[in-house]
Structure 1
Amino acid sequence: MAVETRVPDEDCEAISGWGRTAPTLARVHRPRGYAEAVEAVLAPGRRGLVARGLGRACGDAAQNAGGTVLDMTGFDRLLAVDTAAGLVVCEAGVTLHRLMEALLPFGWFLPVVPGTRYMTVGGAIGADVHGGNHSVAGSFGRHVTALELLTADGRIRAVSPGTPLFDATTGGLGLTGVVLSATLRLLPVETSLMRVDTERVPDLDALLTRLADGGRRHSYSAARIDLLARGAATGRAVLTRGDHVPYDALPRRHRARREPLAFRPGRLPVPPPYVPGGPLGRTSVGLLNELWYRGAPRAATGRLRSLPAFFHPLDGVPHRNRIHGPEGFVRYRFVVPYGQEDALRRIVRRIADRRLPCFPAVLRRLGAGGPGPLSFPLPGWSLALGLPTGLPGLGRFLDALDEEVAGAGGRIDLAEDSRVRPEALAAMYPRLDEFRTLRAALDPRSVLVSDLARRLGL
């Protein structure tokens, strides 16, 4: 879809998603408090506005070509912490990294951890993000106990779980209002370590069996899958499962006994050789996959790893969104329901036969979905992969995968999307009209709008 071009104002800035696929120009407003945010919403300009955090949505969900983007990163205060009850009240621009730093010393951790900790609380709510423990903990919105939401009429509303507005906001991609603050229910932990089991899995069928079994014994599980492997090795993977370590389970002389709740995120001192060099192609991705698979233990249990090393190993890689080259990358994340394993097998085989350089590719098991009409998770198998934008015929190929996913009763993740066709959306999100009706009543002038919303008619 062609992006509308217009003569930029002097105060316009280039805005793109994390995938860098479709940069646009917008006026960026950085409110310093509630009054300035209300003022911006009441005078949005002809092209409306959308709130934005750290810009980790891979597609165009936080872009607004020719309009206004409300940069919420200045809303970064922790307003209250109840260390007895495990509740925190924070502004929407607070990052998950900041919450971990502040709360872990008190023995509290985030109940849902997505693939990066460099995401704002508002962004996590708008995307209703999920993690490796979705089958037991659900997505992020399930652990939000209250919201302050600035709606298109300039009102600041206290929104509670179980209401239509709350449900539509979790996973609503910023289109119901601007999240100003949130109250989160936290997870108690005794140490900052994870007990981790790792194993190589030879093929997709074995992987599905192990993931299903491990979901009953471990809190977190995810598989890094090699989508270039074919034949008997199709779907081979490195499966990682983990649980929080209780203090009494620490080895007697382990240094964590002195500082059991220390948060040590770490960072790579220099980029690895492949970052940010030329685009990752089939050969380089194949080599990385082989090194990852062969470098993993055949089976190892009970290894101790820090929270950042377990949850966010790639957060230490500088400029990792550039590894697919100057044209950017497409993040393709989908879920198909349990009982549709044949559809998942067909999709994996099609990707492998096409020899697409997918990096990284992660398979997870999801549990019950959230109440939001646009919330992505549903009970089933979720596969997420990154692909260089410039691959020949990529659009047609992904359109065909969309049909396979929708035909199986699945859906793609709108928070990561940059290219799905509008006509495919209704089959994937059967409550789409419910969302549109609520949004039309709440925002009849379409004050809150994004490039994604225009592209898909949300």
Structure 2
Amino acid sequence: MAQSASVQEPAQETGTSARPPYQAPPQPGFKPPFEPWGRYPVYDAKIVPLNWQGDIPGSMKGLHGGALAVGMGRSYGDSCLLKDGNLLLTTGMNRLLDFDPATGLLTAEAGITLAQILDFCVPRGFFLPVSPGTKYVTLGGAIANDIHGKNHHVAGTFGSHVTQFGLMRSDGSYKLCSPTENPDWYSATIGGLGLTGVIPWATLRMKPIVSRAIDYEGIQFHGIDEFLALTEQYKHIEYTVSWVDCVSTGKNFARGVFMLGDHSRVPDELNPSPEPKLVFPFDAPGFALNQYSVTAFNTVFFHKQLKPHVKALQDYEPFFYPLDKVLHWNRMYGKSGLLQFQYAIPWENAREGTIAILGAVAKSGLASFLAVLKAFGDVPSPGLMSFPQPGITLALDFPIKPNLSFPLFERLADMTREYGGRLYPAKDAAMTASQFQAFYPQWEKLERFRDPLLTSSFWERVTGDKTIL
């Protein structure tokens, strides 16, 4: 594969490999990330747009108040914010630099989004090796947060499939990072929250497909024990995830739908996806999402399957990205925004901890509209600060009600700590410094790799560090 010197300039069109230069189209519904996807907190910052790799060294010189590279602003909390600082906006750095259809290796600038990568690669018979629940995140952001997907139990995290990347430091130095070259910087940067330097480009190993379709199955379950049994039964299936009812109690406690799928092996047309046309048009009133409305939704969602076990052929878009079809769907939580709580609890405490936390949520009276339950596998993450660990992960979205939400989140975080788990920094806007440092004792090692110019509101909040050049 191309070395660092050769990826600084776009490759030339050769043969039938559809090589770059390829300029990705703009992303729908994007605005500069003054606020995160959860819409809390909101801070003023100076936006410094980057349009190509050569902009990075000059843009990092002479900045005061600290800096942070940001992409689409899809982190839920303040890990993509820097109050009164400088946000280096990477979305203009979205060029595809090289693609080898023989190996599936794709090299692109870090501001390209997963949606733009899919638009290029799916018609050529390739798919992302790991994908989160939205495709509107950048390549650099996916590395910085070492994102995970429905196939963690077989494929590990996103970083496991990144073969190399560049890293620019504020002192003007440049490093090529891979598992064999500068491996300590490679590990610190994957899941390193954008603090070790600015990633100008990266190489990702794509996976071959022959169809857009997913062989889908949906199975109703009643309780955590049935969920665990299904997880074991279908551990050979590539993609598994569950929706869980976190409001109902009694006989309906922790009921859900176990969803699984594999890429179809029947060859079919591989067309690019159409752009989404639906837009959530306004900020919903704060009372719209409550225990009663979510209870009604949960009942409808659980029973939308006419049978306990269904099979279907499904396009990959609704399977991987059901919410992406509605732009600005976060508006349904109202102007106050939302908090997401996501933990990973290791297997030895996973069942007990999940039952206890779901019970605490059900008793709280705060209803989570989106509740996702999944098993993490034992594929080791390459990143020093990567979130996943073998066990169970649960993600919950709550509308912000200041006098209720934050005390509940502190309690749930403490429970997670008691069960040996940890929370996901990319989704967090509420954990305390003591909680974070207990979850990630390796944070002090990351601090030694941190670029002295780079910081974030999250990092300052959970470490107490306010180093500013």
Other-structure match for 1:422: 433
Residues 268 and 168 (structure 1), Cα distance of their counterparts in 2 relative to 1, 3 Å cut: same
Select which of 385, 403, 417 maps to 2:414: 403
Other-structure match for 1:179: 199
Question: CA separation in 2, counterparts of 1:240 and 1:391?
Answer: 34
Counting matched residue pairs gives: 427
Q: Is the 8 A contact 2:284 2:335 kept in 1?
A: no
Other-structure match for 1:277: 284
Q: Secondary structure at the match of 2:131?
A: coil
Q: Is the 8 A contact 2:279 2:328 kept in 1?
A: no
Residues 371 and 264 (structure 1), Cα distance of their counterparts in 2 relative to 1, 3 Å cut: closer
The residue identity in structure 2 corresponding to 1:187 is K
Question: Structure 1 residue 267: deviation in Å?
Answer: 3.2
Is 1:326 paired with 2:326?
no
Question: Structure 1 residue 238: deviation in Å?
Answer: 1.3
Is 1:337 paired with 2:343?
no
Residues 381 and 388 (structure 1), Cα distance of their counterparts in 2 relative to 1, 3 Å cut: same
Other-structure match for 1:120: 138
The residue identity in structure 1 corresponding to 2:459 is A
Residues 297 and 173 (structure 1), Cα distance of their counterparts in 2 relative to 1, 3 Å cut: farther
Q: Is the 8 A contact 2:279 2:329 kept in 1?
A: no
Question: Structure 1 residue 269: deviation in Å?
Answer: 4.1
Question: CA separation in 2, counterparts of 1:317 and 1:132?
Answer: 21
The residue identity in structure 2 corresponding to 1:155 is S
Report which stretch shifted further, 363-372 or 87-96: 363-372
Question: CA separation in 1, counterparts of 2:48 and 2:273?
Answer: 34
The residue identity in structure 2 corresponding to 1:63 is L
Question: Structure 1 residue 391: deviation in Å?
Answer: 5.1
Matches within 5 A, 1:105-116: 105-116=123-134
Matches within 5 A, 1:185-334: 185-216=205-236, 218-247=237-266, 256=268, 259=269, 261-265=270-274, 267=276, 269=278, 271=280, 276-279=283-286, 280-334=289-343
Q: Is the 8 A contact 1:150 1:179 kept in 2?
A: yes
Q: Secondary structure at the match of 1:34?
A: coil
Residues 297 and 122 (structure 1), Cα distance of their counterparts in 2 relative to 1, 3 Å cut: farther
Other-structure match for 1:25: 44
Residues 426 and 270 (structure 1), Cα distance of their counterparts in 2 relative to 1, 3 Å cut: closer
- CA deviations 1:404-449 (Å, max 9, x no partner) are 111221100001111110011222113222212333xxx3xx2001
Other-structure match for 1:356: 366
Other-structure match for 2:356: 346
Question: Structure 1 residue 66: deviation in Å?
Answer: 1.0
Q: Is the 8 A contact 2:278 2:327 kept in 1?
A: no
Matches within 5 A, 1:38-117: 38-45=57-64, 47-117=65-135
Report which stretch shifted further, 97-106 or 68-77: 97-106
Percent identity between matched residues is 33
Unaligned runs of 5+ in 2: 1-31
Question: CA separation in 2, counterparts of 1:276 and 1:285?
Answer: 18
Other-structure match for 1:37: 56
Question: CA separation in 2, counterparts of 1:212 and 1:41?
Answer: 49
Question: CA separation in 2, counterparts of 1:201 and 1:339?
Answer: 22
Other-structure match for 2:461: 455
Residues 270 and 42 (structure 1), Cα distance of their counterparts in 2 relative to 1, 3 Å cut: closer
The residue identity in structure 1 corresponding to 2:381 is G
Q: Is the 8 A contact 1:110 1:187 kept in 2?
A: yes
Other-structure match for 2:445: 434
TM-score (norm. length: structure 1): 0.90
TM-score (norm. length: structure 2): 0.88
Question: CA separation in 1, counterparts of 2:278 and 2:66?
Answer: 41
The residue identity in structure 1 corresponding to 2:192 is G
- CA deviations 1:170-197 (Å, max 9, x no partner) are 1111001111100000111111100000
Question: Structure 1 residue 285: deviation in Å?
Answer: 1.3
Q: Secondary structure at the match of 1:70?
A: strand
Q: Is the 8 A contact 1:29 1:69 kept in 2?
A: yes
Select which of 7, 11, 15 maps to 2:34: 15
Question: CA separation in 2, counterparts of 1:328 and 1:194?
Answer: 33
Q: Is the 8 A contact 1:238 1:296 kept in 2?
A: no
Question: CA separation in 2, counterparts of 1:269 and 1:176?
Answer: 38
The residue identity in structure 1 corresponding to 2:284 is G
- CA deviations 1:251-302 (Å, max 9, x no partner) are xxxxx4xx2x223356354649xx7422311121112111111112433444
What value does the CA root-mean-square deviation take over the aligned residues?
A: 1.7
Q: Secondary structure at the match of 2:78?
A: coil
